[in-house]
Amino acid sequence: MRMRYWAGLALLLSVGVAGTGCSGSQTPSGPAARPLPVDAGKDSWYAGQKLSWRPCPQLPAARCATLTVPVDYARPNGARLQLAVEKLPASGKKRGSLVVNPGGPGIPGRETAPALARLAPAVHAHYDIVGFDPRGVGGSSQLHCLNDAAHDAYYATDRAPDSRAGKDRLRQQALALAKACQARAGALLAHMGTAEAARDMDVLRAALSEADLNYAGFSYGTLLGQYYAERYPEHVGRMYLDSVMDPARTLPEIIIDDVVGAQKAYEAFLAHCTKQPGCPLGDDQAAADRRITQLVTRLNSHPLAAKTDPARPVTGSDLRDALVAGLTSEQGRPSLVQALASAERGDVTAVRALADDAHGRARNGVFSGADESFLAVACAFATREQRSDQALDRAVAAATAMSPLFGPIDSFRPCAHWPAASAVTAHPIKTTTGPILLANNTGDPSTPLAWAQSAARNLHGSVLVTHSATSHGFVTLGPCPVRTMSDYLVSGTIPRTRTPCTNAT
């Protein structure tokens, strides 16, 4: 499973940012918040709960708690689930709570609270920043389907097969994974969709004693925010959506769009490197592309052992995954260049590390389970027809025609065998709330600008700002994007221009 389709920003939020310029802004007015109850019947046990905060073991400055929600909202008095919540109290005069989600899906959200506090001190000064692990993720009953050895076997299988035998092997692995999830996940597997996570956020809002939900969502977190705005428009406070998903795009369309974005980012990456003196990939973009493509082919035929882990030879599939992971962030591209240059010389250690990061595998061989949680949410987003073998075959074929390098990666094949029924599926989300601020990079390889534009057209009253960059994450690019987000969340300020930041320092 290549976890870059709906990529998260949890790690990107913790990196340093480069300087950019910023334009002036204006502040809108809006109606005062009205206290409203949680979406539940009067007798629902979870409606009026309060959080019991305690110091967090790994971060004493933060406070941790658990939020209780029903596994199935249609049976509110049935099985219950404990969600892990972390709060970093406001460092100054508090104006409320800000719930954050880093994306994924499948990425724990608790760590986003301290990461965002470091990145945006002005936001931390005015908000208790609250992160939570969505259902089936991290401390909230992490979904684990395969043991670590079976995970290694899955990723040792060619995930971009070009032969019938290779495709059959991949489908057998995908079927085995889906069956393992059915056997080990229990009732939770059918209740990990985005709509249910949005309902969890409303329970969290009420437990925080907030009339409105102030929210910052990144990548997949923007889809979660839109689902919340659709169901609870009267509860929407200040909502910042960064690297925006289009809720109307179906799973096959997402597969194709993502490959197009990866290909564009790859071409921009090669163009930039080959123009630099001493680029290890040479000074000709087409020649550099051929060298990388040939390297993929060689590794598929003759995998190479990494010095750090000779028992798991690096394949062409691993290199493809490493490329996509490295292209996500502009800050990580120098390391990607060196990894490719080393791989050409026979040292695939850095490629191994990048691929393992993309798969959610730690250095000690333990898998986080994020890839399985990712699939549980992604597969629930599609109808049975959209996730069928036939639909996936068509999507992979169309993607391959657009990018022979990235198109063949068949990440979603387990969805064809997924045991849980589809939840709320792709559809336009149309709602009228206060001004929601959307932000997107023009060349984002994971969430294309067209997705943000489509979402903005339907979120009436929203404003979309952009930045000219080919990486994932508007707010990660420098002080100006951070200031744009902070000014909106703290004071409701909307930029005067839709391109508020430049490359000037």
Whether 219 sits among the annotated catalytic residues: the reply is: yes
> Alpha helix locations (H) across 120-193?
121-126, 148-156, 164-185
**Positive/negative CA dihedral, 458, 386, 193, 371:** negative
Q: How far apart are CA 145 and CA 184, in angstroms?
A: 6
Q: Which of 321, 356, 472, 486 is catalytic?
A: 472
One-letter identity of residue 426: A
Q: Which of 415, 414, 475, 495 is nearest to 219 (CA)?
A: 475
Q: What angle do CA 416, 376, 232 make, to 5 degrees?
A: 120
What is the per-residue DSSP string for 262-331? HHHHHHHHHHHHHTSTT-TT-S-HHHHHHHHHHHHHHHHHS-EEETTEEEEEE-HHHHHHHHHHHHS-GG
State both tokens at 462. Answer: 């929203």
Whether 283 sits among the annotated catalytic residues: the reply is: no
Q: Which of 152, 444, 471, 487 is catalytic?
A: 444
Residue found under tokens 């994007």: 481
Q: Torsion angle of alpha carbons 315, 361, 103, 503, nearest 10°?
A: -60
What is the per-residue DSSP string for 56-106? -SS-TTSEEEEEEEES-TTSTTS-EEEEEEEEE--SSS--EEEEEE--TTT
Q: Which of 94, 130, 134 is nearest to 114 (CA)?
A: 130
Which amino acids are annotated catalytic?
A: 219, 444, 472
